[in-house]
Amino acid sequence: VSDYLAIQSHTGKYAVEFINEAAPEIHDYDQGTTHFIVDNKIIELYENLFKGKIGSYSILALNAIEGNKSLEKIPEYIDFLLRNNIRRDHRLVAVGGGIIQDITCFISATLMRGINWEYYPTTLLAQADSCIGSKSSINCGKVKNIIGTFTPPQKVVLYVKFLKTLEAGDLKSGIGEIIKVHIINGQDSFKQLSKDYFRLFSDHCLLLKYIRKSLEIKKRYIEMDEFDRGERRIFNYGHTFGHAIESSTDFMIPHGIAVTIGMDMANFIAMSLGRISRSDYLRIKALLAENYSEYAKYPIPVDRFITALARDKKNKGGNINSVLLNDRCEAELHSLNNNRELEDKCISYFNNERHI
């Protein structure tokens, strides 16, 4: 492999291998010791991936829906793997987006106290963001991502051409996370991305450059703070509000789009606290609003949003741990007082700010 990025984790180093031309050779894995967990849509769209050997592998094929990423479903998957004679020295291979990743990573952490796993991310969100960072997140009951582990893979293989079949909404969802890391990296990165934004939809070479850059930025933080107790928390930019938007709309808005709206909300609050100027708020909004344009009018029930915001698992006491921009437009951790004033600002945002 000519091009790769090495990631240091608490269990050792693993590589993200970039392959650009030929499709990944997943039909080459040993049949006796490999168990695939694959998105059904990938099996349908990329018939050739297994080179006709599909019947001879242990393949758990799943629909990528949130309901399948729940604790209640795990026994079914374990049962399948046991019937296929999985052992602790075997290997799990995930092929799909963040849902397939989370399921595989969680099973890898827990089944027989640990089975190695490898990952072929097929969505932009997974390629540019979630494929590194070790996290697994599983839903329990109605609560999303409430159970999880830190379990790095043995390797990640990134084939950018998977993205050709992605729907526009899923592409924009991934771009939302790319925007996030570029704002975290500083305003020069953000300005360059703003210039290149529209070309990302047609130029796969450019998109790959941004995927790689996003992973390089994230690498610095996860290597400093893999367990998300310190510096890495800056990556929650847009997520405090984004998670509340997702849960108050029953997850009808794709994650990265909710994060895009969440960043715009955080910036609105930063402006109302006098941290950033109105002109900076509007300048950054120009790109964010373009990225969430299909959801600018999507109804978000404010009362449900406020309840969800207060319940965010990352909050302590009456405060909401958030990330806001400062006067140099740098992302910083900031504890927001969860009071009436904050509620009013959220209401004012939903009523007046999404359509600009």
Ligand X SMILES: NC(=O)c1ccc[n+]([C@@H]2O[C@H](COP(=O)([O-])OP(=O)(O)OC[C@H]3O[C@@H](n4cnc5c(N)ncnc54)[C@H](O)[C@@H]3O)[C@@H](O)[C@H]2O)c1
Task: Return residues touching ligand X (CB under 6 A).
Answer: 39, 41-42, 45, 64, 66, 69, 96-102, 122-123, 125-126, 130, 133, 135-137, 145, 162, 165-166, 170, 173, 255
Question: Which element (helix H / strand E) includes 78?
Answer: helix 74-83
Is the alpha carbon torsion for 199, 203, 205, 208 positive or negative?
A: positive
The Cα-based distances of 183 to 121, 167, 177, 326 in angstroms read 24, 25, 10, 12
The least distance separating ligand X from the CB of residue 190, rounded to whole angstroms, comes to 21
Nearest residue (beta carbon) to ligand X: 98
d(CA 196, CA 161): 19
Instruction: Please count the other Cβ atoms lying within 10 Å of the Cβ belonging to residue 100.
Output: 30
Q: How far apart are CA 267 and CA 281, in angstroms?
A: 6
DSSP state of 254: -
Residue 270 CB, shortest distance to ligand X, in Å, is 24
Instruction: Using the minimum distance from each CB to ligand X, give the nearer residue, 31 or 40.
Output: 40
Question: Rounded to the nearest whole angstrom, what is the least distance from the CB of residue 74 to ligand X in the complex?
Answer: 15
Q: Toward ligand X, which CB reaches closer, 250 or 341?
A: 250
By beta-carbon proximity to ligand X, the closer residue of 66 and 343 is: 66
In contact, 179 and 257? CB cutoff 8 Å: no
Task: Name the minimum Å distance from CB 273 to ligand X.
Answer: 28
Strand partners, 17: 4, 157
The smaller minimum CB distance to ligand X, of residues 34 and 151, is found at 151
Least distance in angstroms from the C-beta of 331 to ligand X? 18
> Residue 139 belongs to what H/E stretch?
strand 135-140
Looking at the Cβ atoms of 245 and 276, the one nearer to ligand X is 245
For residue 110, the minimal CB distance to ligand X (Å) is: 15
Q: Which two tokens stand for residue 310?
A: 């207060």
- CB nearer to ligand X: give 96 or 152: 96
